[in-house]
Structure 1
Amino acid sequence: MSRTDQVVDGVTAMILDGRLGPGQRLPVEKDLAEALGVSRGSLREGMRALSVLGVVEMRQGDGSYVTALEPGLLAAPLGLVVELQAAGHALHVHAVRRLLETEVAGLAAAAARAPGTDLAAARGALDDGAAVLARAQGAADDDVDHEALLAADLAFHHALASACGNPVLAALADAMGGRTARHRLWRGVTDPEADRRTQRQHEAILDAVAEGDVERARVRMSAHLLEVEDFLRTRDATD
């Protein structure tokens, strides 16, 4: 085990056994290095790694603190892994995303059965997408604001993830979806009808979620994301 891994494992153990908690300041560098049995240089390398992982926040002149340890923060580094993998395994990455977001849709639909469920953010994202498409009506494909449509797409999927009631699943879905966005953007640019199909599919998904129809929400989401996978499979076959 490297000294960096020793620091990461040691601080993680301190959090897991309750010696450190969210928002708490870590011991001063000298004491922490001694406790972990590493040099100060190795400690600093380990702390930088923990910072990248979203576990520790390093404040200039004020020491290091455990972060809030929120799922979204801890899952963020997964996005980089996904992006690097997507270079050669885009189809596999999207297949995993489909599995996650299919469950997101089902859980969001189940949550929508409870009174007072707020799906306004998802509705707003769809309205934004519809407005972009309305402005592009009759325009050449080059005049369609694909970036704005992608922003609405990301906002819609994020809103459903936020409504699913499982913050860990939501964080994972966000990490996967955000880092696979460029494939959806390219699909919209190369297929003139893709954006309108996506809008219709999003509408159908939200209808199922709002009605609390768990199975229909899952099926609608799965079918929607399968289209992206089909696009990637076709692209790979022609490359």
Structure 2
Amino acid sequence: MSLTDRAIEQIRTGALPPGSKLPPEPDLAAQLGLSRNLAREAVKALAVARVLDVRRGDGTYVTSLQPSILLEGLGGAVELLQSDAGALLDLMEVRRLLEPPAAALAATRMSDEALAEVKQHLDAMREAREDVELLNAHDAAFHRAVVSATSNESLLTILDGISGRTLRARIWRGLVDARTAGRTLAEHEAIYEALAARDASLSQAAALMHVNSTEQWLREHLRSRSNGSDDM
């Protein structure tokens, strides 16, 4: 078992519960059965993984261990993949697997307030027209509001991470340049209407059509780019 695995085991079994302060380094090393140097390395590794929060002048604490914290680094990792065509298509496949069922679940759980938030971002997207930055911001917020309505924090954090802010901006820029942004807006409207009807099957179908359409556009764009005809 690696040194980080030993530390995680202590946390998992409740010896170091969420929010607790780690003991002094010598005591921690003894508790983990490690040398002080190895215990120090374990703390560094777990801090990078957001399992521990090192507060200078105060001490080291176990975080809340909520998905929003532990999976926070996923988005940064995704951004590093933005130049890899294969990785981009892989991410779109993951979105296709997760977003439509999430929309179906949201339809069964969505409150009137959550639905109003979705509509607010949809209206803002219509008004943004060719402002790519605004379109991108409200597009991301639209989808986030939909997934938030599922009340599933793990699902929300994962989809937040794989959505890729840079990729979204590049796609919207391409759609605006190609004058096909209107079609994509219509797809968002279809998702909203299905959610408003509280129709899970229709919401899933509308979300699937939207992700498939975006994925098809991305595949065609990457193909044309590889042929040297344009750049995204």
What TM bracket, shorter-length normalisation?
Answer: 0.7 to 0.9
- Quickly say closer, same or farther: Cα 1:116–1:205, change in 2 above 3 A: closer
Q: Deviations over 1:169-205 (max 9, x none)?
A: 111111111xx23223222222333432222211210
Partner of 1:27: 23
Quote how far apart the aligned CAs of 1:157 are: 0.9
Matching residue of 2:229: none
Determine the structure 2 residue equivalent to 1:118.
114
Report the equivalent of 1:92: 90
Alignment partners' CA distance in 1, 2:21 and 2:115: 38
Where does residue 73 of structure 1 map in the other structure?
A: 69
2:198 matched to which residue of 1?
A: 212
Q: Secondary structure at the match of 1:24?
A: coil
Query: Which of the numbers 104, 128, 147 marks the counterpart of 2:133?
Result: 147
Partners of 1:104 and 1:170 within 8 A in 2: no
Moved over 4 A (4+): none
1:221-236 equivalences in 2 (<5 Å): 221-236=207-222
| Structure 1 counterpart of 2:39, one-letter code | L
Amino acid at match of 1:108: A
Residue 42 of structure 2 is aligned with which of 26, 31, 46? 46
* TM-score computed with the length of structure 2 as normaliser: 0.87
Shift of 1:118: 2.9
CA shift for structure 1 position 44: 2.8
Whether contact under 8 Å (1:132, 1:149) holds in the other structure is yes
Whole-angstrom CA distance in 1 between matches of 2:144 and 2:52 = 25
RMSD over aligned Cα atoms: 1.9
Structure 2 CA distance for partners of 1:124 and 1:41, relative to 1, 3 Å: farther
Instruction: Give me the TM-score of the superposition, normalised by structure 1.
Output: 0.84
Paired residue type of 1:45: E
2:73 equivalent to 1:107: no
1:64 maps to a residue whose letter is T
Q: Which amino acid aligns with 1:34?
A: A
Deviations 1:83-119 (A, max 9, x none): 334432110111101211112101101113xx65632
- 1:51 Cα deviation (Å)? 1.8
Give the counterpart of 1:167 among 137, 145, 153: 153
Amino acid at match of 1:118: A
Query: In 2, Cα distance between the equivalents of 1:188 and 1:36?
Result: 50
- 1:138 match: none
Describe the SS at the equivalent of 2:190: helix
Matched residue SS, 2:60: strand
Unaligned runs of 5+ in 1: 134-143
Task: Quote the Cα distance in structure 2 between the aligned partners of 1:159 and 1:109.
Answer: 12
**Which of 128, 131, 148 pairs up with 1:132?**
128
Distance in 2 separating the partners of 1:125 and 1:117: 13
- 2:72 alignment partner, SS class: helix
